[in-house]
Structure 1
Amino acid sequence: MLYLYLKALHIIFIVCWFAGLFYIVRLFVYYSETKDMPELQSNILRDQYTIMTNRLWNIITWPAAVLATAFGIWMIIEMPAWLSQPWMHVKLLFVVLLIAYHLKCHQFVKQINNRTMTKTSSFFRIWNEGATLILFSVVFLVILKSTFNWIFGVVGLVGLSVLLMLGIRLYKRIRDSRK
């Protein structure tokens, strides 16, 4: 029964972690768009986005990441047999990628705090898809528990990500043509 409680808590904090990652990147998009605004408006919005970024990052996203990881480790301690499953090895690879993604977002948060952010909103729109791909991959992997079926799922996700990137570029062209 302990394992099921750990699993429930792990899922809850994974949801919170991803919610934080998805929203933080939206804040990065908004922050980077202030570069094209008049100075007074830009400064006001940058100050507000900095406050929002820090609250989201330090109060929700980091704690959720730590707790999701802690409950995941605890689950493995309770069920060490999972480590002998090939799908778990792939899942843990995605966890490492998620942690790397999280740490890179942390660098962007620091850049916002130092007012040294140089990336464009287009970059962050594409960057946001990284978390989406990790989330989809892990969910399909955990549900299917089959590397073979999972490979087809990832190929589909890569195709979806290409379509998303093309959509982002098309949206940018349409937005730019209206200016």
Structure 2
Amino acid sequence: MAYLYLKAVHIIFVVTWFAGLFYMPRLFIYNVEANRLPSSEQEVLHRQFTKMMKPLWYGITWPSAVITLLMGVSVLIKGDWYLQLFKPEGFWLLLKLVLVLLLYAYHFSLHRIFKQQMAGIYKYTSDQLRMWNEVATVFLVAIVMLVVVKKEISVIWGLVGMILLIFILMMAIRIYKRIRNRKQ
């Protein structure tokens, strides 16, 4: 019974963590794009985006990442999933954990961008940030597919699907950029 509650809490905080991972890069993009405006407008917008980013990052995204990790480890132990990790039937779980580690690396990369923007340093263009924004989508799709489909999924077809998803996302970004440029 406790296992199911741990699992439910884990899923809830995965959702809130991803909400932050999806929204923070959008705020980074808007913050960078504010630099194109006159300085008086820039100041107002930078202050507003800072006001929005801090509570999202420190109040939702970081706590959710930590609780997701704690609950994930609890589910892994309480559900005896760790016993399958290095067996053939546990390959999906091992692969999922590798993706989760990479997702945390992505989280830390967003933290670095957050700290830079808080210091008024804008190293990336809005187009670069738009592409970086889609990384969370790729992780979400890959991890959910692994968890739901488990060992039924072929690694080859999984990779083909991920490459196709990345291609579609990149095309969508290009199309959006063309539409945005026509409006300007």
Shift of 1:131: 0.4
| 1:24 paired residue number | 24
Which stretch shows the higher mean deviation, 58-67 or 113-122?
A: 113-122
List per-residue Cα deviations over 1:34-91 (Å, max 9, x = no partner). 1111110011001110111111000000000000000001112211324241111100
Superposition CA RMSD, Å: 1.4
| 1:12 paired residue number | 12
Shift of 1:147: 6.6
Give the TM-score normalised by the residue count of structure 1.
Answer: 0.94
Asked if the contact 2:146–2:153 (Cα under 8 Å) also holds between the matched residues in 1, the reply is: no
What code does the residue aligned with 1:77 have? Answer: I
Shift of 1:23: 0.6
What code does the residue aligned with 1:132 have? Answer: T
2:85 to 69, 83, 86: 83
Percent identical pairs in the alignment equals 44
Asked if the contact 1:137–1:154 (Cα under 8 Å) also holds between the matched residues in 2, the reply is: no
Q: Distance in 1 between matches of 2:178 and 2:153?
A: 38
Q: Distance in 2 between matches of 1:100 and 1:14?
A: 15
Q: Distance in 1 between matches of 2:44 and 2:155?
A: 46
2:160 to 135, 155, 160: 155
Which stretch shows the higher mean deviation, 155-164 or 103-112?
A: 155-164
Runs of 4+ in 1 over 4 A off after TM superposition: none
Matched, 1:104 2:106: no
Q: Distance in 2 between matches of 1:39 and 1:169?
A: 29
Asked if the contact 2:25–2:133 (Cα under 8 Å) also holds between the matched residues in 1, the reply is: yes
Asked if the contact 1:20–1:57 (Cα under 8 Å) also holds between the matched residues in 2, the reply is: yes
| 2:143 paired residue number | 138
Report the secondary structure of 2:121's partner residue.
Answer: coil
Report the secondary structure of 1:117's partner residue.
Answer: coil
What code does the residue aligned with 2:172 have? Answer: G
Q: Distance in 2 between matches of 1:43 and 1:154?
A: 44
Q: Distance in 2 between matches of 1:149 and 1:28?
A: 36
List per-residue Cα deviations over 1:129-150 (Å, max 9, x = no partner). 1100000000000111117435
Report the secondary structure of 1:146's partner residue.
Answer: helix
Q: Distance in 1 between matches of 2:6 and 2:13?
A: 11
Give the TM-score normalised by the residue count of structure 2.
Answer: 0.92
Shift of 1:24: 0.6
| 2:50 paired residue number | 50
Q: Distance in 2 between matches of 1:44 and 1:166?
A: 33
Q: Distance in 2 between matches of 1:63 and 1:164?
A: 28
Q: Distance in 2 between matches of 1:164 and 1:37?
A: 28
Which stretch shows the higher mean deviation, 5-14 or 164-173?
A: 164-173
**Structure 1: where are the runs of 5+ without partners?**
none
Shift of 1:175: 1.8
Report the secondary structure of 1:145's partner residue.
Answer: helix
